[in-house]
Amino acid sequence: MIARAWHGRVPEGKADAYFEYLRATGLKEYEGTAGNRGVYVLRSRSGGFADFLLVSLWDSWDAIRRFAGADIEKAVYYPEDRGFLVEMEPTVTHYEVLAAPGSTARKS
């Protein structure tokens, strides 16, 4: 399994509206992509901003390509993101999942 992590920052006053926007766009698209195992949406608030960390879980690199396209390192954005985000981070980070709830730790 592979985890794909994306970070975004919005002004704190837009935090709830941005979460609803995420539910209608990226989260909905994750759910509709074959090979997606779900997504964690994390949010922290500090200094007048809300930081979102989305960690999506995938069966394979091919599954990620179905969502992100050929350049899987490139962040995926939607039309109204510019109206919320302080900056558009260009890339995401991928991690090999070695252990997860309901599974045993991977042996080296």
Instruction: Please state, in angstroms and rounded to a whole number, the distance separating the CA atoms of residues 86 and 66.
Output: 27
- Cβ-contact 86, 34 below 8 angstroms: no
Say if residue 108's pLDDT is above 60: no
CATH top class, domain 2-96: alpha beta
The β-bridge relationship of strands 49-58 and 2-11 is antiparallel
Sequence-ordered list of residues with C-beta below 8 angstroms from that of 97, at least 6 positions apart, any chain: 1, 2, 3, 57
Delimit the domains of the chain by residue range: 2-96
**pTM listed for this prediction:** 0.90
Q: 104 falls in which pLDDT band (50, 70, 90)?
A: low
Angle at 42 between CA 24 and CA 3, to 5 degrees: 85
Mean pLDDT over the full length of the chain = 94
